[in-house]
């Protein structure tokens, strides 16, 4: 029997939360470091710190 919990798990480099293997990551799982696009985009720059577009 297969268990859902048998899926690989990694820890997100941004939020530090564990995330589970997803089918869309099947080919790039070794490269996946973030739980979502949001965390991947937030790397190094928390929030919108764009000085060029200051209002």
Query: Can you give the binding site for Zn ion, defined by CB under 5 A?
Result: 12, 14-15, 35, 39
| Cα separation values, 23 from 42, 43, 52, Å | 23, 23, 38
| Minimum distance of Zn ion from residue 13's CB (angstroms) | 8
For Zn ion, the closer of residues 30 and 37 by Cβ is: 37
Helix (H) or strand (E) holding 41: helix 37-41
For Zn ion, the closer of residues 12 and 32 by Cβ is: 12
For Zn ion, the closer of residues 15 and 32 by Cβ is: 15
């Amino acid at each position: 029997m297969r268990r859902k919990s048998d899926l690989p798990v990694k820890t997100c480099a941004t939020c530090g939360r564990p995330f589970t293997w997803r089918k869309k990551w099947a080919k790039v799982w070794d490269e996946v470091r973030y739980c979502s696009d949001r965390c991947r985009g937030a790397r190094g720059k928390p929030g919108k710190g764009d000085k060029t577009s200051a209002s």
